[in-house]
Amino acid sequence: MQKTNDYDSYASKLAQLLRNGTQKSHAFIEKPAMYALLPDIQGKSVLCVGCGTGEECGELLGRGANVGGFDISEESVKLALQAFPEAKLQVMDMHDLSAYSDEQFDFIYSSLTLHYSEKIDQILTQLHRVLKPGGHIQFSVLHPIKWAAEVKRSPDDENKKAFLLGYDKYQKPAHIYGDYLNVTKVIQKPQNYPEITYWNRPISDYLHILRKTGFELVDFVEPKAIPETERIHPEYAAIHSRIPQFMIFVIQKR
């Protein structure tokens, strides 16, 4: 089992941020959008892919689902089980789901996890196997309109940065900012966090992989910041009412 990112070292900090609502991107964009899209899962068997410290498991349990799940971070799973002992969670690599039976789950949920792998087709092939015929998967990933952009940091304050995607033809040769059309590996070192690695890919690449692995697209959402954001974080709301940060796919097993 090979870990791309070291979530063990800051699992408790991340759990605190998610549970007290101070992680803006989760509290005001991604989680509200993901929860709004959830179908009726009362009594359904649900798999949470990349369960992290369990916050989504709590939401799924609260909707009456029978929840199983996994994460590659042992410390995250430990914290998730402490908070949500009803969930059947384990430490596992998402590239190998051999611990699960064929057609075991009615519904699969994954929040901001699949972009941590270069081999999304391998993961979706595994998920197709463990999903019941006609079952749905709902997953969110980073939106390349933002995350494939070139990041310019202020020399005076590293917290101030610009995201640039486009080109400047007035320079010779033209200067190109970012890379939307190619699958690219990105390594970042966020402030106060360990280094993280993820992969950007264009929307067309996701659609190609979905078709190849036996899925049909049911819905596609590029969520905006919820209205409440404007009162609490007005600048953040202004940016993310116009520029997408995440995208959500709802797909069905053919």
Contact between 19 and 55 under an 8 Å Cβ cutoff? The reply is: yes
pLDDT grade for 191, boundaries at 50, 70 and 90: low
Q: How far apart are CA 231 and CA 55, in angstroms?
A: 25
Q: Which two tokens stand for residue 168?
A: 């400047």
Q: What does the alpha-carbon distance between residue 86 and residue 78 come to, in Å, rounded to a whole number?
A: 13
Q: Which of 215, 195, 203, 92 is nearest to 142 (CA)?
A: 203
pLDDT tens digits, 15-52: 677 777 778 999 999 999 999 999 999 999 999 999 99
CB 252 within 8 A of CB 216: yes
CATH superfamily for domain 8-142+201-253 = Vaccinia Virus protein VP39 (3.40.50.150)
Nearest alpha-carbon partner for 222 in 160, 141, 165: 141
Residues 168-183: tens digit of each pLDDT? 999 989 999 999 999 9
| C-alpha to C-alpha distance for 142 and 76, rounded to whole angstroms | 21
- In tens, the pLDDT along 123-153 reads 999 999 999 999 999 999 999 999 999 999 8
